[in-house]
Amino acid sequence: MGDETMHITIGHLYPDLLNLYGDRGNTIALSRRCEWRGIDARIVDIGAGQDADFEDIDLFFIGGGQDFDQRTLLADLGVGVAGSKAERLRNAIESDVPVLAICGGYQILGEYYRDHEGQTATFIGALPMYTEAGDTRLIGNIVFRADAVEGTPVVVGFENHAGRTRLREGACPLGTVMRGFGNNGEDGTEGLRYRNVIATYSHGPLLPKNPHVADALIEAALQRRYSGAKLRPLDDTLEMAAHDTMEHRLIS
């Protein structure tokens, strides 16, 4: 099947609350890279109080937000409630629907977040990890080798988080930190890869500067809808020049 006949629907969860450091640019990058290939990409914004048929969504995006914003979403997500957004998102993940989750969105997909006062917020529990508040923020540019993405691309981005995320035994990190802090600033891991979920602390936005990651998500989404679908290459000269300049500046 020619990719000019294909279409995907991208569900952007909480675009009004979870949009730090240009994270909305990730959905723009996804839609443009589809458009340049003749693929019809429709973006559906799903904010608090809004809903959509999750079975119609081919790819989910969840951006980063302040700790307070994360907590205000719990009632809307309906964690622990049958038929809630949280349950339907977990079911989508277990059905291999691709998800890109950044920073706060990454934390929300985990088991819980424990703050400085020892208060614990129970999150969705879709990923085998948990997060606890640290004494300082982990801030700065980040470079990591995305071992869990085909081709093992080097990813560049920006991180700013107080949470220290710990992966459960056997969980697969998204990558290995080359510069920066990553999940917790201690064990050298960054992000988490579970089924078709790519979860990371990398803002920036992530995808315009790292087109290989964008294409991995698009191709996974297409292959669920169109068996055997493959993306045709794009001319990423400008994107990779920007990427390589930042990589060289940070790790040379």
The catalytic position among 12, 103, 161, 243 is: 103
List, in order, residues 6 or more apart from 187 with CB less than 8 Å away.
Answer: none
Q: What are phi and psi of 11, to 5 degrees?
A: -95, 115
DSSP 56: G
The catalytic position among 12, 34, 161, 203 is: 203
List, in order, residues 6 or more apart from 135 with CB less than 8 Å away.
Answer: 116
Alpha-carbon separation of residue 75 from 49, 115, 122, 123, 130 (angstroms): 10, 18, 11, 11, 19
DSSP calls for 177-189: EEES-TTTSSS-E
Q: Give yes or no: 203 in active site.
A: yes
Q: Which residues are known catalytic residues?
A: 103, 203
